[in-house]
Structure 1
Amino acid sequence: MTIVVTGGRGFLGRNVVRRLLKAGHEVRPVGSKDYDLTEQHGVRALYAELRPRVVVHCAAAVGGIGANVDNPGRFLYENALMGLMLLEEGRLAGIDKLVMISTSCAYPQDAPLPLREEDLWEGPPTGATGPYGIAKRMLHDACLNYARQYGTNSTVLLLANLYGPEDNFGAGSHVIPAIIRRYIDAKRSNAPSVTNWGSGHATREFLHVDDAARAVALAVATRTGPEPINIGTGQAVAIREIAEAVQTAVGYGGDVRWDTTKPDGQPARYFDTTRASQRLGFTSAVPLEKGLVETVQWFREKGQHLVSS
């Protein structure tokens, strides 16, 4: 069975490709240089030339907070367009399944915790990532309505914040790679102190990329229905705890300061993962401390040459 993974050379996509190859599938990773998924002719060419039975849609127009602030229209347009055309042209091509990767940004900003799938439509996504979240939510609705009208087989996975080896450690990186690089740079330069943003009391949910790839592989093999499914650990961890674990893994002995003039963001964000357990048989397996040590080790051995000091 041929499986196409869009965004197949990105952080999540590479891990999904490896997982599916290990399971014995024929896998075709594609990127923007292969097919322009924002153009109908590009999507049609993908289906005509590769003839996949399953498509895993990991590709996204995405970035950090600054990129979201600068590109709200583009992020909404391109993400909605890619997903809708893969769904429609896939239906016309007769594919067996589409696995759509989504995000917690699709939830309303004031949704009750833990975040439950049935609360997705209780209010609009807001803040800097609101347009990106609106595009993803549009795709949730599209999968539901295509199942209703055409019987389309799809699974929508909302992923917690990913981390792990091969993550982006450059400018605009997310919380964990940014903290790891900060402490490694400080140790290497014998800096007397490290300064982290905010108070460190805000909590987030972090999922190892290996766990995320395993969830995607389960979704490929399982008919779940089109309703969105949260994929995470179901546990919130304070940013301060992350920083302390990274400091230990790096072996940095200097002072640690917290710049409370910088924003914490939302105080808490984490999933209810009951549906993932019930429909996919998925629970996370990589403990956070182990995953952080592994990620620190990878960056020391292989990642530092990929970013400027």
Structure 2
Amino acid sequence: MRVYVAGHRGMAGSSITRKLELRGVEVLKRSRAELDLCDQHAVGQFLHTERPDAVVLAAAKVGGIHANNTYPAEFIYENLMIECNVVNQAFAAGIHRLLLLGSSCIYPRAATQPIREEALLTGELEPTNEPYAVAKIAGIKLCESYNRQYGTDYRCIMPTNLYGPGDNFHPENSHVLPALLRRFHEATAARREEVVIWGTGKPRREFLHVDDMAEASLFVMDLSNEKYSAHTQPMLSHINVGWGEDIAIGDLAKLIADIVGYNGRIRFDTSKPDGTPRKLMDVSRLSRMGWRASIPLEDGIRQTYRWFLENHTCLREA
């Protein structure tokens, strides 16, 4: 079996790649320099030439609140282009199996917690990441539309906030967990008396280790059409993937400070935005299918911090 993993160098894509290779699957890989996924012709030529048995679309432009607020045009444009090109050209090349990785930010800001798949398009999105969310919603609808019209088997999973080895630890453009890990690490090394964190610390977030996400991805891909269809609908094809529990950002900061060994003060800058008040996924649908996450948050953060210590001198800064 041959599988093309788009975004194999990213945190999510690299974990899925490792899991596939452990199974003995031949994974097709192309860096951005080798294949620009925003280039429709190049994507079409690659997929028509290689014709993999399946595609995993893990490539995306991602970032935290700061990055989403600073680069909204790039976030909506690049993600739309990547999804449209890969999905359409996969179909044109006769590839009828595809898994698209989305994001929990697709759901309305005020969605009832925990968030069920049915909450999609039932309310206003969180303004700080709306362009990215709109692009990801479009990706879901793109897959649903090809399935409905052409009978393809394009599936979508919506992971909660991911973390783990290979994460982006940029001081401004990363997500909250890796950003806090780096901030507390540097504060400890510099013996700073205080670490400042955006917002009130009250918003609650759910976190999932990337290796759990990769296992869930392969689980969903492996499901028979009958079992997958029994838990989805033609117009509701996406599946939530998460841990099923959340934590306040303030408590997360204290946990990371303990793991890193930081003993100074933690101050919350309430002039900065909090983002969505709470974002907890309802993972009952995936649980009924037979899969649950297995890596507890503290264990996962400790593992991620060890990876950071071994790799932080060569981490990307942009």
Q: 251, 257, 278: which is aligned to 1:268? A: 278
1:242 paired with 2:224, answer no
SS in structure 2 of the partner of residue 30 of structure 1: coil
Please say which of residues 283-292 and 233-242 is displaced more in the overlay. Answer: 233-242
CA 1:11–1:189: 2 relative to 1, 3 Å: same
Q: Which residue of 2 aligns with 1:104?
A: 104
Describe how 1:71-90 pairs up with structure 2 within 5 A: 71-90=71-90
- The two structures have a TM-score, normalised by structure 2, of 0.90
Residue 252 of structure 2 aligns with an amino acid whose one-letter code is: I
1:199 is matched with 200
Question: Is the 2:65–2:275 contact (alpha carbons within 8 Å) kept by the matching residues of 1?
Answer: no
8 Å contact from structure 2 (residues 199, 268) kept in 1? yes
Change (3 A) 1:244 1:285: same
Which amino acid in structure 1 is aligned with residue 44 of structure 2?
Answer: R
- Give the letter aligned to residue 150 of structure 1: Y
Q: Do the aligned partners of residues 51 and 143 (structure 1) sit closer, same or farther apart at CA in structure 2, a change above 3 Å counting?
A: same
Mapping for residues 144-155 of structure 1, pairs under 5 Å: 144-155=144-155
- Other structure's SS at 1:99 match: strand
Query: Which amino acid is 2:188 matched to?
Result: K
Residue type of the alignment partner of 2:247: V
Q: Deviations over 1:185-241 (max 9, x none)?
A: 121112222222222121101110111111111122224346100011121111122
Range that drifts further, 258-267 or 114-123? 258-267
* Alpha carbons 2:202, 2:249 under 8 Å: kept: yes
One-letter code aligned to 1:272: D
**Deviation (angstroms), 1:156:** 0.3
Question: Using a 3 Å threshold, how does the CA distance of structure 1 residues 70 and 201 change in structure 2: closer, same or farther?
Answer: closer
Cα distance in structure 1, aligned partners of 2:18 and 2:238 = 24
Cα distance in 1 for residues equivalent to 2:272 and 2:89: 45
Q: Which residue of 1 aligns with 2:174?
A: 173
Give the fraction of aligned pairs with identical amino acids, expressed as a percent.
40
User: Separation in 2 of the partners of 1:124 and 1:201?
Assistant: 21
Match of 1:257, SS state, is: strand
Q: How does 1:81-160 map to 2 (within 5 A)?
A: 81-160=81-160
SS state at 1:155 partner: strand
Distance 1:6 1:246 in 2: 31
Aligned-partner Cα distance in 2 for 1:169–1:274? 31
Question: Equivalents in 1 of 2:113, 2:194: separation in Å?
Answer: 35
1:161 offset after TM fit, Å?
Answer: 0.6
Alpha-carbon distance in 2 for matches of 1:70, 1:183? 24
The yes-or-no answer on 1:290 pairing with 2:299 is yes
Question: Where does the alignment leave 5 or more consecutive residues of structure 2 unmatched?
Answer: none
Taking a change above 3 Å as real, the CA distance of residues 74 and 295 of structure 1, as seen in their structure-2 partners, is closer
Q: CA deviation at 1:126?
A: 4.2
After TM superposition, the structure 1 = structure 2 runs for residues 41-56 of structure 1, keeping only pairs within 5 Å, are 41-56=41-56
- Residues 251, 271 of structure 1: alpha-carbon distance in 2 compared, 3 angstrom cutoff: same
Deviation at 1:34, TM superposition (A): 1.9
Pairwise CA RMSD: 1.8
Deviation at 1:17, TM superposition (A): 0.4
Per the alignment, residue 32 of structure 1 pairs with 32
CA distance in 2, matches of 1:66, 1:243: 18
Match of 2:310 among 278, 301, 304: 301
| 1:190 alignment partner in structure 2 | 191
Q: Runs of 5+ in structure 1 lacking a partner? A: none
Aligned mates of 1:228, 1:102 — CA distance in 2:
9
User: Comparing 66-75 with 116-125, which one deviates more in the overlay?
Assistant: 66-75
Q: Does 2:219 correspond to 1:218?
A: yes
SS across alignment from 1:138: helix
State the distance in 2 between where 1:148 and 1:102 align.
19
Retained in 1: the 8 A contact 2:213–2:241? Answer: yes
Structure 2 residue 288 is matched with structure 1 residue 278: yes
1:305, CA displacement in angstroms? Answer: 4.3
User: SS state of the match for residue 278, structure 2?
Assistant: coil
Q: What corresponds to 1:16 in structure 2?
A: 16
Code of the residue aligned with 1:245 in structure 2: it is L
Distance between the aligned counterparts of 2:85 and 2:307, measured in 1?
A: 37
Moved more, 71-80 or 245-254: 71-80
